[in-house]
Chain A
Amino acid sequence: MEKFKRVSTYIIFVLPALAIYLAVIAFPIISSVGLSFTDYNIYKNQAIWTGLANYIKIFKDPVFWFSMKNNFFVIFVSVFGQIPLGFVLAYLIYRKLIKRSGFFQAMVFIPTVISTIIVGILWSKMFSPIGVVPRIIQVITNNPDYSMTIMTNKNLAMIPIGFVILWMFTGNYLIIFLASLQNIDPDIIEAAQIEGATDGQILTKIIIPQLYGVLVLTSILAIAGSLKAFDLVFVMTGGGPAYYTNLLAIYMYNQSFIFYNYGVGSAISTVMVALSIVLVILIRLARRKIDTMEV
């Protein structure tokens, strides 16, 4: 009786969360893989097995490879921009090299809490003819006729996007690094100082090795975040000009909800999930690394 009561209570407490989670997340993930092998038509509610046709189609599509390339650009900006920048800022605050660090920390962090689409629209306005960026360039170059075309240039349009990505998410990494820096045992550093170690030596020989796990982890998180990026680029350029700023997620959105190729869309999302699974494995490995390091 006692056991029955315990089990029934367990079920009552877990069920609401579990039911919603299974229905909205677990079940769709599985069926998404299935759909990717079909030519599902939503009006007929009919799916015919087409094997690998959708995958062959996307791998032959230059837009897919363009999107992939842009995703790698976003990954590059995140890993080699946000992380080093976030680390340097966190280190400077940790070392108390500035006063009013709370204010500056807030300044770097605030963009993170604003909606991505608001940030995207705001900056696309900043870069547009009615924005201030072209005006500033006009003043600096003393050329009142200067007009900004970077957002519509097929080779350069990713650059402002990269800038906005840095603007928006660096604060997140600053916070993560600052928290892990503050977790370092001050005794170790003090001991090193007594031994006569310089600041540079302390940074490279003590602090960075201690943060090795966090660095790996944040890199993987930055990659995972970059893979699923959608909102910012969608509102800034919509993937244009043409498809030169497409990301995988935008490519998938267009295939599914503009062209109604749900099978193709599912194939793209399956490719994205496969990439994330690789990352999950990496995260597990990084975790193990951190666990062994923190002992």
Chain B
Amino acid sequence: MYEDTLNTRKERNIFNRLLIYTIFIIFAIFTLYPLIWLFYSSFKPQLEIIRDSFALPQVPTISNYTQAIIKGKLNIYTVNSIIYTFVSTGLVIIFSMMASFAFAKIKNRATPFLYNSFLIGLLITMQAILIPLFIVMTRIGLRDTRFGIIIIYVAINLPLAVFLGTEFVKAIPDSIIESAQIDGASYFRIFFKIILPMCKPVMVTILIFTALACWNEFMLALVFTSSDSVRSLPVGIYSFSGPFATEYGMQFAALVIGMTPMIILYAIFHRQITRGFAAAGAIKG
């Protein structure tokens, strides 16, 4: 209503409009140009990159990509990242939904304490767990293993997932569960047959957040992996700046490979992502 009445007002002059559009167009250029530049530069041979950073590729080549895979082992890192993202996200969804159901619908005196403990996890900085975790993981031989990375990723993503899940399950009316219980359904049956199907929207939100976080995570993977066979894509891409620091085309190709899945994810789920960030931003930031 407000907007409509304002839109009909004549007082807004062309100058204001121009200014506003300029601001947004500048933002759009600032976002698009680096991404487009990166994309076409990744098809330029080394000499062209050095000679003229502006120019489009004259002789486009995919050798940067093949080099990144052969010399840079990017295929291994990509597979690792896919494993970490899929397995961690799957486990986070299952475990968080189970806990959410218990917290929201099974009465227990421990719930406030346990639930709040998870909420504190929303505010924990990763640096606070880094050293003790590093020591323990080294001692028990889980450092530099896929299993170790997955456990860590599950743990750090649980607080937000448990929070989102519990708040969602709380909103499901108790009467649905009670009538199922009268019909003789067990808690397990209620969970799998009633709660989970109703929780699809929140599970999508949890999926997006966890997948984004796992795919993009850098610091923990940097500290907890040392061999190529376990490294994730972000650590692999970072490692390019060492031995291949001057092989720009290879680095560009690696960056393109690293960001494309997330841009596709955004293109598919942009509505859910925006809504999720708005909701989670109000809690977490």
Contacts and interface: CB of A to CB of B under 8 A. Distances in A.
B281 A221 contact: yes
Given A231-B218, A266-B131, A6 B278 contact: no
Interface string B211-229: 0100110110001000000
B162 A98 contact: no
The number of chain A residues touching the other chain, given as a range, is 35 or more
* Secondary structure of the B contact surface, majority rule: helix
Given A20-B154, A190-B2, A224-B123, A14 B27 contact: no
B71 interface: no
Of listed B31, B126, B248, B252, residue having the most chain A CB within 10 A = B31
A176 B281 contact: yes
B133 A172 contact: no
Nearest to B191: A13
B6 A269 contact: no
A130 interface: yes
A269 B121 CA distance: 16
Contacts of B216: 114-117
Contact of A167 (B1, B3, B30): B30
A107 B131 contact: no
A13 B99 contact: yes
A253 to B, nearest CB: 8
A113 B106 contact: no
Interface string B29-73: 011111101100000000001100110000000000000000000
Contacts, number: 284
Nearest to B281: A176
Contacts of A117: 216, 218, 234, 237-238
Nearest to B138: A42
The number of chain B residues touching the other chain, given as a range, is 35 or more
Contact of B107 (A6, A175, A279, A283): A6
A228 B114 CA distance: 25
Contact of B129 (A25, A112, A116, A175): A25
Contact of A273 (B101, B110, B125, B152): B125
B76 interface: no
A172 B27 contact: no
Contacts of B171: none
A17 B135 contact: no
A26 B117 contact: yes
A14 B3 contact: no
Nearest to B126: A228
Nearest to B221: A117
Nearest to B115: A14
Interface in A71-127: 89, 92, 94-98, 103-118, 121-123, 125-126
Contacts of A259: none
B99 A17 contact: yes
Given A118-B259, A224-B123, A276-B123, 17 more contacts: A10-B106, A12-B98, A17-B98, A17-B118, A18-B99, A21-B155, A24-B155, A109-B277, A112-B277, A113-B273, A116-B216, A122-B34, A122-B38, A173-B281, A179-B278, A249-B125, A266-B131
8 contacts: A5-B187, A21-B159, A24-B129, A104-B27, A109-B277, A115-B234, A265-B131, A276-B128
Interface of B: 1-3, 5-7, 12, 16-17, 20-21, 23-24, 27-28, 30-35, 37-38, 49-50, 53-54, 94-96, 98-99, 101-103, 106-108, 110, 114, 117-118, 120-121, 123-136, 138-139, 151-152, 154-156, 158-159, 162, 186-188, 191, 212, 215-216, 218-219, 223, 234, 237-238, 241, 248, 251-252, 255, 258-259, 262-263, 265-266, 270, 273-275, 277-279, 281-282, 284-285
Interface of A: 5-7, 9-10, 12-14, 16-18, 20-21, 23-29, 31-32, 35, 40, 42, 45, 89, 92, 94-98, 103-118, 121-123, 125-126, 130-132, 135, 167, 172-173, 175-176, 178-180, 186, 189-190, 193, 199, 214, 217-218, 221-222, 224-225, 227-228, 230-231, 234-235, 248-249, 252-253, 256-257, 262, 265-266, 268-270, 272-273, 276, 279-280, 283
